[in-house]
Structure 1
Amino acid sequence: MMETITGGEPGPVVAEASGKRSVYFLVPAGSAEGKAWPDGAVVLNAAPGRVSYVPVPALHGRTWPVSWYFPPTAPGRFVHTLLLLSTATAILN
């Protein structure tokens, strides 16, 4: 859905091939806070008393179990937070 709306380039997305098989959408810092995310979506934020991390693979070479589903295409290019929220809500509700 996001791929179609963005012409095939939704912004940087990382996929994990083991464990929970998580998918990480890289958004601008702080842009996910204060939004009503649907059940099933987990927001990872740095905050006092809280530790979060996102595994980021190298751009080239072997990085299993994480890899780029959509690699970054330009400095400062992120997944659009409201588009991600709309897509997650449509899929997870």
Structure 2
Amino acid sequence: MTVEKLPDWVPASGVQLRLSGIHFDAIRVRGVRGEAVLHHLGDATGGRPGPVVREVAGGRWTYFLIPPGTSKEYTWPPGATCFGPCVRDLYVGIPAAHGNTYPLSWRCGAPVEGGFVDPDLLHEIVTAQLCTGP
């Protein structure tokens, strides 16, 4: 049996803030739009989109974690906020793999070492979702 290793930036318990652009970049999409992006991303990847953090309170944000430094290679449409090396001091809440992490959780399971959302595919889906009507 193979045990997949968690990245070192995933806390052992609770939730911790991690500076974007170091271990990952993140693209944040709000509410039902974020869920729609995740739905299409899941369909395109056979249900394995990569690490996605969901906030179940407040803005109900969805954070798509992509390889560090890659967010700057794209022009993200309005409604998608880039957390990466192009901006300063933006933190993302990262939940532990298990236990109480409210209001954050891993939407498709905790990440594995070296696993990320495909930035090309994410950009394509985010652009399609946010550049069309409601």
TM-score for both structures, normalised by structure 2: 0.64
Q: Which moved more, 1:82-91 or 1:38-47?
A: 38-47
Say whether 1:53 aligns with 2:91.
yes
Distance 1:73 1:19, change over 3 A: closer
Which is richer in helix?
2
The aligned residue for residue 25 of structure 1 is 64
Alignment of 1:13-92 (within 5 A): 13-46=52-85, 50-92=88-130
The alignment of Structure 1 onto Structure 2 pairs a total of residues equal to 92
Output the amino acid matched with 2:59.
Answer: K
> What is the CA deviation profile of residues 28-60 of structure 1, one whole-angstrom value per residue up to 9, with x for unaligned ones?
001111311111000012457x11111110100
Alignment partner of 1:3 out of 42, 47, 71: 42
Which is richer in strand?
2
**How far apart in 2 are the matches of 1:66 and 1:84?**
21
Structure 2 residue matching 1:54: 3-state secondary structure: strand
**How far apart in 1 are the matches of 2:111 and 2:67?**
15
Q: Is the 8 A contact 1:41 1:88 kept in 2?
A: yes
Moved over 6 A (4+): none
TM-score for both structures, normalised by structure 1: 0.91
Q: Percent identity?
A: 42
Task: Give ranges in structure 1 of 5+ residues lacking alignment.
Answer: none
